[in-house]
Structure 1
């Protein structure tokens, strides 16, 4: 438990055993804690970028079959554009979190610290939303690419009757919903705890500003 949390615990007990702390004493604690949280968020984002780079590279480097499939996919401009766009978004996310960390680390003003916390929360919110939207789009697109590149799959789907096509659509919707739920829970766990702590710091700073 950090120093600020220990102070809160003692205040809640109503004890006078500890000296009174002024705003100038509390602010450095909030500042240090907020900087540490955003720094952790930045490291997580870098790890995520490395993870997706490895996911993209390993199959291409070590599987001839996957390399052939990917080479065929990269002939499609839409696939290339989505891949590049995805990595640009992650790179932008990493940059914005790094910028937030530097901003929080260098500020000595409570109002500016609050603004930096708000920006960080927005960055995380939009990034998670972006990933959910991309999951929603990517599964139907994957089926589209598979339909156009895999002759066996194309012939099989082309031969479907109305009932089988309905089943395919329903299964696609269910798989998309499951993936959306998994990704949402993943980000809720990964970023939710840290954002909750960051929100607490923001609320404490608001009290100092009153």
Structure 2
């Protein structure tokens, strides 16, 4: 019982000391935490970029059928444009996160740190929206390419009646919705947790500015 009371006293003492920390003591803590969070986001973005490269590259070398379909797809300018756009956006996202990390690392001003946090939040928000939009576009486009490049699938769709076509459209919508939901949950889990911590740091910095 005595040990428990001592533990409570030590805890209260630590809380009191934290509450009485000066602005000059709190700022370096928030600065270090924000820098660490953005650095983690940067590493995650590199891991994601590497993952998508492997997903698109390994099947090309491991499957002759996939290689033939991919080579045929690259004859379509729209497919090439979307692929380049997607990769370009990921590279830009990595660059912007790295730039934000460098900016936070060298700043010693609370206002500039807050601006960097706001900028990082916007970059991640737009990146997630772009990826969800790409998923929404890519699934119907994949069916379109399959319809034009796969004679067997083309004949099956061409022979469908109105009810079967409705079922095909319904399945496409449901599958698209499920995949978008999975991607949204993934980004919500990976980026959302870190963004919440970044938001807390921003709120604390805002209090220091008041």
TM-score clears 0.5: yes
In the other structure, the counterpart of 1:46 is 46
Query: 1:1-210 maps to which residues of 2 (within 5 A)?
Result: 16=16, 20-210=20-210
Structure 1 range deviating more: 56-65 or 145-154: 56-65
How far did residue 37 of structure 1 move? Answer: 0.1
SS at match of 2:59: helix
Query: TM-score of the superposition, structure 2-length normalised?
Result: 0.92
Query: TM-score of the superposition, structure 1-length normalised?
Result: 0.92
In the other structure, the counterpart of 2:6 is none
How far did residue 202 of structure 1 move? Answer: 0.1
Gaps in structure 2 of 5+ consecutive residues: 1-9
Structure 1 range deviating more: 53-62 or 29-38: 53-62
Over the residues paired in the alignment, what is the CA RMSD in angstroms?
1.7
Structure 1 range deviating more: 111-120 or 70-79: 70-79
Gaps in structure 1 of 5+ consecutive residues: 1-9
Residues in 1 aligned to 2:15 and 2:43: alpha-carbon distance in whole angstroms:
39
For residues 183 and 72 of structure 1, do their structure 2 counterparts lie closer, same or farther at Cα, with a shift above 3 Å needed? same
How far did residue 20 of structure 1 move? Answer: 2.9
For residues 104 and 18 of structure 1, do their structure 2 counterparts lie closer, same or farther at Cα, with a shift above 3 Å needed? closer
For residues 148 and 109 of structure 1, do their structure 2 counterparts lie closer, same or farther at Cα, with a shift above 3 Å needed? same
Residues in 2 aligned to 1:19 and 1:178: alpha-carbon distance in whole angstroms:
46
Residues in 1 aligned to 2:15 and 2:173: alpha-carbon distance in whole angstroms:
57
How far did residue 205 of structure 1 move? Answer: 0.1
The number of equivalent residue pairs is: 201
